[in-house]
Amino acid sequence: MAVYTDVTEQDLAAFLGRYDLGSLSSYKGIAEGVENSNFLLRTTAGTYILTLYEKRVNRGDLPFFIGLMEHLAERGLSCPLPVHDRSGNALGELAGRPAAVFTFLDGMWTRRPSPEQCRAVGVSLARMHESARSFPIARRNGLAPADWRPLYDSCAGRADTVEPGLSAEIEAELADFEANWPADLPEGVIHADLFPDNVFFLAGELSGLIDFYFACNDLLAYDLAITLGAWCFEPDGSYNVTKGRALISGYVSVRPLAPREYEALPMLCRGASMRFLLTRLYDWLNVPDDSFVTKKDPREYLRKLRFHRGVREASAYGLDRAEVTKGSE
């Protein structure tokens, strides 16, 4: 949950005066997003989301994020559409922060994903990958494998306080990634954070994707691995092969995997687990307890990492090679 910056009505009304959005009826801080401050706006023209970009977001990345949402929405992917002011700008400034207004997306995120929802997420993820092919801006992944060791080094001395032996286990994994991470797979713009709270459903259908603030250029199949890890494990830590099969089959129904993407899945899934294990470990050790951010247990991703380490063949995720590569280049 997050409202880091409060806004006065006077400042907000002045900001909105540059848009054709009618007059302000109400605005309320909402518990959505952990990087930025978000408000639900009601104006005489409708309902919108106002985002104030806080310090953790690099201002230089904003044209990528906002441009990407606009690019995807124009191609029929349901996601928040940046609203332009009368001068054509989608990005302004409010309360000393970069700020943007977005269309409001109806729908609810699911706390208990079903296999059908997993399939729909796979379909949407692949559509996002396909729609973003023509997006002209690129953004480096700030949490790519090359960033994992420095991130780990910053908390290595205390890792074993979270779980005995964790340092050695991470060290061994990092060495393996450094030697064996797949380098020649198809790349493109990935969402990189497609967790259940970033996907809305309405009346049984996927109604939209939100929160593109980790989006970047990286391996497309790595995004599938992140999404698989976020959707297809049960609260008890077990992998749900029915959901995994549904998610992957949804994905490949839009974008078949190349055979080498399929074969790389266990390694990519281990890497995706490492990425979330490390950021959660860092936050666990470094975020003050009086922060507004609820800290997530890094051990959830340690368990997922161990599961993926035990996977010898990508077929363990639920689909065999022929099913996922049919129609691939």
3 makes contact with a second copy (CB under 8 A): yes
Count Cβ atoms within 10 A of the Cβ of residue 186 and give its class: 0-12 exposed, 13-18 middle, 19 or more buried: middle
Q: Toward a second copy, which CB reaches closer, 105 or 174?
A: 105
Among 15, 16, 19, 32, binds a second copy (CB under 8 A): 32
DSSP states of 263-291: HHHHHHHHHHHHHHHHHHHHHHHHS-TTS
Q: What number of other Cβ atoms are within 10 A of residue 161's Cβ?
A: 12
Task: Identify the helix (H) or strand (E) that includes residue 165.
Answer: none
Among 21, 34, 40, 174, binds a second copy (CB under 8 A): 40
Phi and psi dihedrals of 220, rounded to 5?
-60, -40
Stretch that binds a second copy, among 40-48, 126-134, 157-165, 214-222 (CB under 8 A): 40-48
What is residue 42's three-state secondary structure? strand
Q: What's the number of CA atoms in the CB half-sphere (13 Å) around residue 122?
A: 29
Q: Toward a second copy, which CB reaches closer, 200 or 301?
A: 200
The region, left, alpha or beta by phi > 0 then psi within -120 to 50, assigned to residue 22 is left
Stretch that binds a second copy, among 20-28, 86-94, 130-138, 166-174 (CB under 8 A): 20-28
Binding mask 169-208 for a second copy (x = CB under 8 A): -------------------------------xxxx-----
Q: What number of other Cβ atoms are within 10 A of residue 203's Cβ?
A: 7
Tell me the number of residues near a second copy by CB under 8 A: 36
Stretch that binds a second copy, among 169-177, 216-224, 265-273, 288-296 (CB under 8 A): 288-296
Least gap, CB of 107 to a second copy (angstroms): 6
28 makes contact with a second copy (CB under 8 A): yes
Among 290, 312, 322, 329, binds a second copy (CB under 8 A): 290
Stretch that binds a second copy, among 53-61, 77-85, 105-113, 149-157 (CB under 8 A): 105-113
Q: Which two tokens stand for residue 62?
A: 């904003």
297 makes contact with a second copy (CB under 8 A): no
Can you give the C-alpha Rg of the chain in angstroms? Answer: 20
Question: In Å, how far are 106, 155, 160, 280, 296 from 285, measured between CA atoms?
Answer: 36, 7, 11, 9, 11
Rounded to whole angstroms, the maximal C-alpha distance in the chain is 60
Q: Toward a second copy, which CB reaches closer, 30 or 311?
A: 30
- Give the binding site for a second copy (CB under 8 A): 1, 3, 6, 8-10, 23-32, 40, 42, 47, 104-108, 110-112, 200-203, 288-292
